[in-house]
Structure 1
Amino acid sequence: MSIQPKYYTMKRVINLIFLMMATQMIIAQEADPYQWLEEVEAPKALEWVEEWNDKSIGVISSQPGYNDIYEKNLDILNSTDRIANPGIYGKYVYNFWQDQQYQRGIWRRAELKSYLSGTPDWEILLNIDELSKKDDVKWVFKGASGLYPDYNKFLVTLSKGGGDAAIVKEFDVQSKAFVENGFFLPEAKGGASWIDENTLLVSTDFGDGVTTSGYPMQVKIWKRGTKLENAQEVYKGLETDMGIWGYAQQNPEKVYQLITRRTSFYSGDYLFIENGKAVKLDLPDDIELNTIFNGQVIFQLKSAWDVNNKSFQQGAVISIDYNDLLNGKRNFELVVEPGERSSITQISNTKDRLLVNMLENVKSELYSFRFENKWEKEKINAPDFGNISLGSTDEFSNKFFFYFQNFLEPSTLYFGDASSGEISKVKSLPSWFPTEKYEVQQFEAVSKDGTHIPYFVAHRKSMKLDGNNPTLLYAYGGFEIPQLPRYSAATGVSWLEKGGVYVLANLRGGGEFGPQWHQAGLKENRQLVFNDFHAVAEDLIERKITSSKKLGIYGGSNGGLLVGVAFTQRPDLYNAAVCAVPLLDMKRYNKLLAGASWMAEYGNPDIPEEWEYIKKYSPYQNVKKGMDYPEVFFTTSTRDDRVHPGHARKMVAKMNDLGYKIYYFENTEGGHAGASTNEQRAKMNALIYSYLQMKLMD
């Protein structure tokens, strides 16, 4: 009998063993040695955090002027001269307030007439400091939604430490207490809204799974007195969806019940609930539903659309009668269409006016629209050359609030009438630094592909163009979020008054010029955003406003990714970098917390073709030894359940092992905002600006 087959079998086994050993070696080489830092609250990881916090805070807080910056920022944040931001519910204005006495804050209300008098007679409804002490939980107030039309009951949202996951509890404003055995949603990334006093439309984790992004997968109608798990399901999506949310909009004519199913961050379906059943609407998958107003459903287009023998441009706002839409009709009407250098940033409505906030070359203009067979536009006489943001509106009248600010004008609250166009000033923030010494200029840099990128420069009028000015460049460049001129007392007292120059860049990826400006920087085109940033830096240097030795950069979240790419790609341009709550490991970002929801923005690193372009810029994969990187300051929060703190942690550990000097601070609470109380915010500002002065002002 031949032994040949047995010999070949053994040879195959030996070869297989060697192959397995080789594969394990490759996997070991490719394995991330810092992945243990992704265990957010593991004792070993928290010990690492504490050591880095102590080391970095010790250096930065010992810088001259640190205590002065901290005290001034705390004074600003605790100032009683701040605007109490109003939210109109019926005859009352509601406000959440934090100061030295109420560190975690109070939720309060005053009658609208009293509020407008300038000396509101506030009635405290809920003291978050007392609640936190009672429950032994560091509660963070996340908002409240009232029951139309009397607004005697609210759904109050509270987060542990500031994360996105939160609980929802029913609150009675007459008794100033949570309703005993009232509606309660356990901690989740979901929410609820009122259908009527005894019914909620709920999207949450019902105990049988959420999407891969960590968001709700179901929408249910929940009746008072029944268990949440027994609520009536009206729609269920897929685990691979980004998320499913339900929302009830209470209007005088009808309670509209809406479901939005997001298959990605920028696409999905809309459904209306009629007679307990979800009816899918036949619409483009990237259209955005803004509001329902006087029976008209208001949409904004993210792509051009030819429908019913009409052509609507990208970025246009259109409308259709609710019943017509539900019955499959296509008779859409144009509300407003932006131009080449304009965009629409906000849409809201009063009783019978639609308010549209527009940008024209990154400067705000406010319009009122009314519908009588067709849409008619009137400009509201709001201040020019700055940033307008819409505030609360009154659904029982045409009254509304809005804010105006720019780099040198503190935020001012106005009260307006959308039907008459009349406005009146309610209150202005005090100016915390002598703005008359400064001026703002708008320039344009030319990016690598020839695109003109606008940016603002705030500086002393006496600034010399000698390349020696400490300059802080801030940008975001993502998710169609525009970066607009705004007054920052913290930047004024902590940077401008110290001799610094502040720059705000309007990169592609943002929303300054509408959907096309955003879409120009998506996925495989992401490098264009980074090229825009480098181009602004180079333009600042070429104009002799600053030099690479005097140029620092700052960005958070998606802007933290921008900073990470900037200093790894062009370390020759920057001498300081503040990288806050950042994405950095783009190989694993879609596996960490809400990361999977952003694949429409960045791409899917698990698809080889998409990883090919992501890996070229991913900071964590591209940081390497022997480079002249700036001494980066990374910040994050243990309680950030949106962008995983592991991004910043791992980058710090890797750079430290590669021999780079860096700084790191992780706040133990604060969520994605990085801080929960004014003391925490003042400390964060003091650390950031002291670091920048240390690096750019010696």
Structure 2
Amino acid sequence: MKKRILSLVSAALLTGAGAPPAPNPTDDPYIWLEDWTGPRAMQWVEAENEATVAAFQNDPRYAGYYRDALAIASAKDRIAMPMLIHGRIYNFWRDADHPQGIWRYTSEADYATDAPTWTTVLDLDALSKAEGRKWVWKGASILDPDEKLALVNLSDGGEDAVSLREFDLETGAFVKGGFDIPTSKQNEGWLDADTILLARDWGEGTMTKSGYPFVVKTLKRGEPLAAAQEIYRGEASDQVGTFPQILSDGSGNRAAFLYRGVTFFGNETYLVTAQGLKKLPLPAKSNLQGMVDGQVLIQTSEAWESGGVTVPTGSLAAVPLQALQSGETLKPHILFAPNARQSIDGVAATKGHVILAINDNVRGRVMVLTPKSNAAADGWASKPVSLPDNATISIASATEKSDKAYLAVAGFLAPTTLWAMDAADPTPRQVKAMPARFDATGLAVEQFEATSTDGTKIPYFIVHRKDMKKDGSTPTIMTAYGGFEIPMTPSYAAITGKLWLERGNSFVLANIRGGGEFGPAWHEAGLKTKRQIIYDDFAAVAQDIFARKLSSPEKFGIYGGSNGGLLMGVEFNQHPDLWNGVVIQVPLLDMIRYEQIAAGASWVDEYGSVSVPAEKAFLETISPYANIRKGVDYPAPYIWTTTKDDRVGPQHARKFAARLKEYGIPYFFYEDTAGGHSGDADIEQGARLQAMQMVYFSQRLEGK
């Protein structure tokens, strides 16, 4: 399926080719910091890093924070999250002995024990040492139905660009003479045992302006890339690119599809057949989510009318694969339609059922959907699954080879638990529980609502001590995301709990618009020139907290990453009086030139484009880089990014810091040289970034 840019897609390296016109570089004195790995830019980074490392790592609290964060990240009693493959339980695992990670397996029976015996099939630390690279795990594509071969995705240092290598799960070795695809932003799917569908950089004129492949070819085992046969070509002007997806079910049905991402949220879907490609009459804002008993599952983000049926926005529907193949009029059957406070959070197909995870007023629910004897005519049955309340529930693993599945449950104060379930008889049983990582004694979780500038009620959660004084004296940190229809839901943030909550401080999660907490409408309320409402929502939550005297501006800090980093930059500019600490992580900040940087051109659907006058005018009003003002009493922000981020790019953070320096505004800047957009090169990097961030908040909100 088409993969969301902010999660799994392979993004672009620094490029401006074909992007809309931007302001004259002479108007931007820091354009040179956009030179991704240029020597001058990297010298600047080195000097900035030296000052920030000294400010944070010399703080007496840093060593303890780092030690605790690393211990949590590398603890060997974490839950080994399962992958159901070939009747085994696979898991990718990192700890102090394996900082980059190992891929390993055990039997289903052994997995259910307290101390499973694991067999390692791939050791990334050993591979990196042998090859002189820092290989980072980016997943694997498994060949069905036998599930004995995989295409392993490996990233050098954490970039979205990956190399593909064929791996034999039976022998635990790379296949000699097998598929070995060099590094690119690429996506793949097994067409058959000797053929893959491959979208990648095939050379000049095969990548969109945002750096995604738009040409898909078939590649045979043993053939060089030059021998691959083109089957589809999108357009260089597409905002995203074209990607393959393979669907199969437990009844033996199998089909290959292509997604053409014309825009970020709007795609064309094609069925791959022996006679060629067939464009499918599906909504532009829809995605295929699996297949059960020949019924293809389709999740929509817009209303869909077909065959006399109206599928509401944000629903899950099914149509027969046979109808897609024959070209007959589709008559979708609605499996789930949300109300105004619900949204779909996850869909998984098993051999004979569908597991559906939803958010209901930002609380997790799960149901099992089962096709009746004639699903196309008789529909589907629905059965709720009984699981803990007031938590986030996610589908950890499922497979179309059986009805077995695993569900993960977590809350702010409830460590993650893993539940096994047979979808044919959905009575889950807890099989794993992560030990508590921080002392939650005396802590409470409350959900409140703030009123935004247009009167809309914005929910938020606050975790605090039950005996907290309501006098505004409690140090508090708040986060949110607010974009791309991505929800933020309760989770067990062990490091935040250990390093922040244990000391009597508070944590807030704001469910602002732009995200997916309440479905597509909640997201679309803040698209493009309507985006100011997202920023108003965030400020309204802070003001509500202050009105309740749960904290105060002097004791209040905020943080967010990627699109959430943009949110932080805007709030830094628009409401400097509301916060005393602002952490801006791997951010977008120059919204006038964002289309020129890394994969920025792919996000025009979300932010708008400077090529459209009205959208340019709005972007000029919110762009954090463009709206820093001399003489304003800003809180000194902490801006961090990574050199290996080939998705958003470190350029935004660099230029923002440079402008602050020019204006004499205090700040901290740090750029880690590895880790990609997620800062995930190894567990030490994650612990370091967490510890430095917490030192910053401690200095700003608790005092020296």
User: TM-score normalised by the shorter chain: which range applies?
Assistant: over 0.9
**Residue number among 520, 524, 546 corresponding to 1:519 in the alignment:** 524
Return the offset for 1:493. 0.8
**2:34 corresponds to 1:38:** yes
CA distance in 1, matches of 2:589, 2:452: 24
User: Structure 1 residues 303-312 or 642-651, which shifts more?
Assistant: 303-312
Alignment partner, residue 19 of structure 1: none
Return the offset for 1:442. 0.1
CA distance in 2, matches of 1:244, 1:599: 17
Contact 2:86 2:148 survives alignment (8 Å): no
The 5-angstrom pairing of residues 465-614 of structure 1 reads 465-614=470-619
C-alpha offsets along residues 59-100 of structure 1, whole Å, 9 cap, x if unaligned?
A: 112223111110011111111010111100021111111111
**Residue number among 128, 151, 158 corresponding to 2:154 in the alignment:** 158
**Residue number among 438, 457, 466 corresponding to 1:433 in the alignment:** 438
Contact 1:201 1:248 survives alignment (8 Å): no
Alignment partner, residue 307 of structure 1: 306
CA distance in 2, matches of 1:222, 1:166: 17
Alignment partner, residue 11 of structure 1: none
The 5-angstrom pairing of residues 265-284 of structure 1 reads 265-284=264-283
Q: Which amino acid aligns with 1:214?
A: G
Q: Give percent identity, aligned residues only.
A: 41
Q: Which amino acid aligns with 1:181?
A: G
CA distance in 2, matches of 1:325, 1:381: 35
**2:252 corresponds to 1:247:** no
The 1:225/1:693 distance shift into structure 2, 3 A limit, reads same
Larger Cα Rg: Structure 1 or Structure 2? 1
CA distance in 2, matches of 1:49, 1:278: 48
Q: Which amino acid aligns with 1:591?
A: Q
Return the offset for 1:148. 1.6
CA distance in 2, matches of 1:35, 1:489: 39
Alignment partner, residue 174 of structure 1: 170
Alignment partner, residue 217 of structure 2: 220
User: Structure 1 residues 313-322 or 350-359, which shifts more?
Assistant: 313-322
User: Structure 1 residues 197-206 or 470-479, which shifts more?
Assistant: 197-206
**2:132 corresponds to 1:136:** yes
Contact 1:667 1:675 survives alignment (8 Å): no
Return the offset for 1:203. 1.1
CA distance in 2, matches of 1:341, 1:587: 34
CA distance in 1, matches of 2:435, 2:218: 47
Contact 2:415 2:492 survives alignment (8 Å): yes
Q: Which amino acid aligns with 1:117?
A: T
Return the offset for 1:394. 2.9
Q: Which amino acid aligns with 1:260?
A: Y
CA distance in 2, matches of 1:560, 1:636: 10
Q: Which amino acid aligns with 2:139?
A: G
C-alpha offsets along residues 578-632 of structure 1, whole Å, 9 cap, x if unaligned?
A: 0000000001111111111110000012222210111111100101111111100
Contact 2:439 2:498 survives alignment (8 Å): no
The 1:565/1:693 distance shift into structure 2, 3 A limit, reads same
Q: Which amino acid aligns with 1:459?
A: H
SS of equivalent to 2:540: helix
Q: Which amino acid aligns with 1:244?
A: T
Q: CA RMSD in A?
A: 1.4
Contact 1:219 1:245 survives alignment (8 Å): yes
Q: Which amino acid aligns with 2:258?
A: I
SS of equivalent to 1:130: helix
**Residue number among 426, 429, 447 corresponding to 1:442 in the alignment:** 447
C-alpha offsets along residues 651-691 of structure 1, whole Å, 9 cap, x if unaligned?
A: 00110110011001111000001231111111111000010
Return the offset for 1:338. 0.5
**2:403 corresponds to 1:416:** no
Residue ranges of structure 1 left out of the alignment (5+ in a row): 1-26
**2:699 corresponds to 1:670:** no
Alignment partner, residue 13 of structure 2: none
Residue ranges of structure 2 left out of the alignment (5+ in a row): 1-22, 373-377
Misfit runs of 4+, over 4 Å: 27-30
CA distance in 2, matches of 1:219, 1:353: 32
SS of equivalent to 2:605: helix
**2:332 corresponds to 1:335:** no
TM-score by length of 2: 0.94
CA distance in 2, matches of 1:276, 1:146: 25
**Residue number among 459, 463, 474 corresponding to 1:454 in the alignment:** 459
User: Structure 1 residues 55-64 or 255-264, which shifts more?
Assistant: 55-64
TM-score by length of 1: 0.95
Alignment partner, residue 18 of structure 2: none
Alignment partner, residue 71 of structure 1: 67
CA distance in 2, matches of 1:287, 1:194: 23
Q: Which amino acid aligns with 1:623?
A: I
Alignment partner, residue 364 of structure 2: 364
SS of equivalent to 1:103: strand
Contact 1:282 1:328 survives alignment (8 Å): no
CA distance in 2, matches of 1:378, 1:53: 54
Return the offset for 1:29. 8.9
SS of equivalent to 1:98: strand
- The structure, 1 or 2, with the larger RCO (C-alpha pairs under 8 Å, 6+ apart) is 2
C-alpha offsets along residues 630-663 of structure 1, whole Å, 9 cap, x if unaligned?
A: 1000010000000110000000011011001100
**2:399 corresponds to 1:394:** yes
CA distance in 2, matches of 1:184, 1:358: 39
C-alpha offsets along residues 10-43 of structure 1, whole Å, 9 cap, x if unaligned?
A: xxxxxxxxxxxxxxxxx88952111111111111
Alignment partner, residue 24 of structure 1: none
Q: Which amino acid aligns with 2:125?
A: D
* Count, aligned residues: 673
**2:52 corresponds to 1:52:** no
SS of equivalent to 1:97: strand
Return the offset for 1:395. 2.1
Alignment partner, residue 350 of structure 1: 350
Q: Which amino acid aligns with 1:240?
A: S
SS of equivalent to 2:46: helix
CA distance in 2, matches of 1:141, 1:306: 41
The 1:671/1:604 distance shift into structure 2, 3 A limit, reads same
SS of equivalent to 1:51: helix
Alignment partner, residue 188 of structure 1: 184
Q: Which amino acid aligns with 1:253?
A: G
Q: Which amino acid aligns with 1:615?
A: E
SS of equivalent to 1:169: strand
